[in-house]
Chain A
């Protein structure tokens, strides 16, 4: 379990690093899918098999395919890649990256203040279903309204 967690964590971080540095968008998307799969494995090791399945089905399956679909539809090939390369000069990315490091250090420091071991309890699909349609039923309704608004909004915005 431990090896699985740390191995997947390393893969997730490396894949995400590759996502934000690629110039070819399809490569970035493929690395992002790898990162999502690694995070799904992490969810599984953390005792959340239902969330792991949803991560793969919804994130890697639906959202990423939507990205790929739009990119394939709009792709202009080498021209766009050269443009992306020209935009991704060190003078552009080095400042924000350096400024982000102290933030990460601060978060690491804050997390390490409280050392405590965790016992993993597997929370399966049944408990999630009971909670979703029990105390969280209003949140489910709101999420459905949000998705409906997203549907209508996407239709309206994409219509020429």
Chain B
């Protein structure tokens, strides 16, 4: 498929960065306010994704490929992180029979709930 080499200059860089900042802050609020580990993990994903968005915005601003490379690195980091964390959550909650309701430090779960 033929891509146009240069599209119209329409979106200011600030707006892309603003969106990334808003998404990042929302993920941060999620990490701070939720107690369920799966929700915390999802909020971490939101934050990582916002970081990737900022990299893509910068890459698009300077027309360089490096930002997209960094996005790929963040993608593989997120995949590895989710695999390990979900494996841990599954093991803990299965052992304690609490469903996915494990938290940072839950009296019911004992020290095993701490990551």
A123 in contact with B65 (CB, 8 Å) = yes
Minimum distance in angstroms from A58 CB to a CB of chain B: 5
Total number of residue pairs linking A and B with CB closer than 8 Å: 258
Chain B 27-60, CB-CB to A under 8 Å as 1, else 0, gives 1111011111011011101100100110011011
What total of chain A residues lie within 8 Å of the partner, measured CB to CB?
A: 89
Q: Which chain A residues border B83 with CB–CB below 8 Å?
A: 66, 150-151, 153-154
Q: Which chain A residues border B114 with CB–CB below 8 Å?
A: none
Q: How far is the CA of A16 from the CA of B10 in the complex (A)?
A: 25
Chain A 1-43, CB-CB to B under 8 Å as 1, else 0, gives 1100110010011001101100001001100100110010011
Using a CB–CB cutoff of 8 Å, the interface residues on chain B facing chain A are 3-19, 21-23, 25-30, 32-36, 38-39, 41-43, 45-46, 49, 52-53, 56-57, 59-61, 63-66, 68-69, 71-73, 75-84, 86-91, 93-95, 98-101
Using a CB–CB cutoff of 8 Å, the interface residues on chain A facing chain B are 1-2, 5-6, 9, 12-13, 16-17, 19-20, 25, 28-29, 32, 35-36, 39, 42-43, 45-51, 54, 58-59, 62-63, 66-67, 70-71, 73-76, 79-80, 83-84, 87-88, 92-93, 96-97, 100, 103-104, 107-108, 111-112, 114-124, 127-128, 130-132, 136, 139, 143, 146-147, 149-151, 153-160
Instruction: Provide 15 A-B residue pairs closer than 8 Å at the C-beta atoms, listed in order of the A residue.
Output: A6-B15, A42-B16, A51-B71, A76-B98, A116-B14, A117-B13, A122-B4, A127-B65, A130-B65, A143-B72, A156-B87, A157-B84, A157-B87, A159-B91, A160-B94
